[in-house]
Amino acid sequence: MHTQVATLEEIDSGYLEPYDAVYLGHPYCGRYPGNLLADHGALREAIRRLRYLGKRAYLSTPAAPTSPELPAVREAVAVAVAAGIDAVEAHNLGLIHMLAREFPGLELHAGCFAGVYTHLGALELKRYGVTRITPNFELSLDEIDYLKEATGLEVTLWVHGKIPLGITRDCFLLAYGECPAVCREDFWLRHRDWVLKCMGTVVLSGPDLCMVEHLADLLARGYRTFCIGTLTEGPAYRREVGRIYREALEAAGRGGAGARDLPERLATHSPHGFCNGYFFGRSGRDYVGAAVPG
Amino acid sequence: MAPAGSREAVAAALASGADVVYVGLAGWSRGGSLAGLPAGELAACVALVREAGARLYLALNVVPDLRALEVFWEKLAGWVALGVDGLILNDYGLLREVRRRYPGLGLTASVGCGALNREDLLFLAAAGADTVVLPPGIAPEEVAAVASGGMAPAVEVFARGVREPFLLGRCWLAGYLRRVAVPREGRTLYPGSARRGGTCGRPCRVPWNWGGRAAGPLPEEEIAVYHHLAEYVAAGVRYFKIQGRDLPPERVRVLVEELRAGLERLDHGGVAYTGRYP
């Protein structure tokens, strides 16, 4: 089970205790204050701390880099590799192409914006040394099952957190406040009963994806790599949600259902409720709870 | 490269000077039935472009149901047999397989492939693309950074189109808000998702409340670069494209005439422009 951390100050043993691995860096905004991708000293220290805590350290990279930004990404990856990073996550096809060429042997993960919709796409990434993929959120569980079987690649399933729904080249929030402070506020977009969270260069679901009631099914389908998306959340969310999922995964691994109150405990951290994403072939904002749709 | 959503629009594009016309097929192209031809119309469109000495590209820019790819291959064989000159694809995995099956077919990596930088072009070229489309609104200096360095596929940009709030191919908001699964012809379509066989319905354009500070749609911008064509050519652009398979024929005619006039001004101005689609 892994999560995401954008800055050094968020790396604290207590808050990361439930997780096996952490993706470092903010992939959506190079100007995000303290972004580990831009501060090499902090990046080295972050990797050292994760090593000390016995956790795997992965580096996330910009989701939509332009040509002039590529050298800085290359430099950050070189720093991370020298510091002992375990893998690098890329959302951008060009970065995968570049990193495979310039860092042969480096373990590569394809992130959620890499556009993995088909097994043919996943196999294309495998040619470049990608070992782990996050399928596009629009795929259903049945489609992801097929993709996993057809490629033999390790698949990350996001099981909790706000779903990234779109990225932009320009920050939406600059009209509403000063950079970099404005995106540290909770900024919600609303239309009727639709709620989205806006972080400037990425828009996320307002409700949290929640699959805590389906973990036994996910394990039975063969999934072993789960992500709790916490990039836009505070440390308490990261710790508490992680603890609940750790408990639920251990119960599911023993064949149990876990405590009945898990959704209620999670709900205290999700002011806009839950959704199930696209896993069940429905609208991503729907929430079916424990029921398995027919 | 001109858009057409009907036989009449194909004729209008050709009459006003398009070198290539691209069409979609309902259920296999973004835009749903509004911008996609019924499959039975494709042969007539091929005949029109042949008569005009032009080319026809088929925009297959939805991701086919990955569990029913045989349906896709079967359909594709029929469309290729009708004489389409090339395809516009937005799944990089499909690019390689189509290139293997049809080595002579023109293959364009759609804007939905998300190319933004030089390395993206190299990735997509390795997968089989001979042309890569960059996002609407990209500046000439950005194109120059992408297209520099020699060996790479041809670069295509939008001469006219809409710079949408999100990067094309990097948004699945519509399917998040409203989506249903519909079985059709042995596969599953999702009419609420443009990339999965339907139309997005532009939920980004509804009046959103912005954190209580404002109300309005997510920002977008119409772009037209007719007066900057020379800069784009100098930056390495090979082809210009007009967005809008849902446009009426008369509008297609006007837009193609504007672009053709702009390209002719390039010739008269001494700018070497020899863009001809593969």
Q: B269-276 contacts: CB < 8 A, separation 24 or more?
A: B269/B230, B271/B229, B271/B230, B271/B233, B271/B234, B272/B233, B273/B229, B273/B233, B275/B19, B275/B154, B275/B237, B275/B238, B275/B239, B275/B240, B276/B19
pLDDT of residue A181: 80
Q: Residue A53: CB partners within 8 Å, gap ≥ 6?
A: A13, A16
Which range among A36-40, A230-234, B146-150, B158-162 shows the weakest confidence by mean pLDDT? Answer: B146-150
Q: Does A149 touch chain B (CB under 8 A)?
A: no
- Separation CA B96–CA B257 (nearest Å): 35
- Separation CA A42–CA A23 (nearest Å): 14
B67 vs A94, A146, A205: nearest CB: A146
DSSP states along A112-151: TTS---SHHHHHHHHTTTEEEE---TTS-HHHHHHHHHHH
What is the 8-class DSSP label of residue A269?
T
Q: Does A284 touch chain B (CB under 8 A)?
A: yes
pLDDT tens per residue, range A230-270: 999 999 999 999 999 999 999 998 987 777 889 999 999 99
Q: Does A294 touch chain B (CB under 8 A)?
A: no
Closest-CA residue of B relative to A167 is: B166
Contact B117 A122 (CB under 8 A): no
Tokens standing for residue A258? 């876990």
The answer to whether the beta carbons of residues B227 and B265 sit under 8 Å apart is no
- Separation CA A276–CA B209 (nearest Å): 24
Tokens standing for residue A219? 């394990």
Residue B227, pLDDT > 60, answer yes
Buried b (16+ CB within 10 A) or exposed e, A185-205: eebbbbeeebbbbbbbbbbbb
A39/chain B closest Cα distance in angstroms: 23
- Is residue B275 very low, low, confident or very high in pLDDT (cuts 50, 70, 90)? low
Residues of chain B contacting residue A278, judged by C-beta atoms under 8 Å apart: 172, 175-176, 179
Closest-CA residue of A relative to B90 is: A115
Neighbours of A277 (CB within 10 A): 30
- Separation CA A38–CA A57 (nearest Å): 17
Contact A194 B145 (CB under 8 A): no
Section B242-265 average pLDDT? 94
The answer to whether the beta carbons of residues B179 and B190 sit under 8 Å apart is yes
DSSP states along A196-210: EEE-SSEEEESSEEE
What is the helix (H) or strand (E) element at residue A159, kind and residue range? strand A154-161
Q: Does A67 touch chain B (CB under 8 A)?
A: yes
- Separation CA A234–CA A236 (nearest Å): 6
The single-letter code of the amino acid at B227 is: H
Section B20-42 average pLDDT? 86
Section A89-113 average pLDDT? 98
Task: Determine phi and psi for B110, rounding to 5 degrees.
Answer: -60, 160
Select the residue from A29, A69, A97 to test the B interface by mutation, using most B Cβ atoms within 10 A: A97
pLDDT tens per residue, range A132-171: 999 999 999 999 999 999 999 999 999 999 999 999 988 9
- Separation CA B114–CA A93 (nearest Å): 8
Which ipTM was obtained for this model?
Answer: 0.96
Which range among A86-95, A180-189, B134-143 shows the weakest confidence by mean pLDDT? Answer: A180-189
Residue A49, pLDDT > 80, answer yes
Q: Which domains does chain B have, with CATH numbers?
A: 2-168+219-268 (3.20.20.70)
Contact B67 A205 (CB under 8 A): no
- Separation CA A19–CA A11 (nearest Å): 12
Contact residues, A window 249-268, toward B, CB-based 8 Å cutoff: none
Cα-based angle B232, B125, A201 (whole degrees, multiple of 5): 65
Q: Does A285 touch chain B (CB under 8 A)?
A: yes
Residue B253, pLDDT > 90, answer yes
B152/chain A closest Cα distance in angstroms: 13
- Please state which architecture CATH assigns to domain A2-161+206-275: Alpha-Beta Barrel (3.20)
- Separation CA B84–CA B56 (nearest Å): 5
Tokens standing for residue A230? 């916490």
Write down the pTM of the prediction.
0.95
Task: Determine phi and psi for B142, rounding to 5 degrees.
Answer: -70, -40
pLDDT of residue B192: 72
Residue A203, pLDDT > 80, answer yes
pLDDT of residue A231: 95
The answer to whether the beta carbons of residues A107 and A128 sit under 8 Å apart is no
Select the residue from B119, B171, B202 to test the A interface by mutation, using most A Cβ atoms within 10 A: B119
Break chain A into its structural domains and give their ranges: 2-161+206-275
- Is residue A293 very low, low, confident or very high in pLDDT (cuts 50, 70, 90)? low
- Separation CA B142–CA B84 (nearest Å): 32
Given the structure tokens 């089989």, which residue do they identify?
A: B128
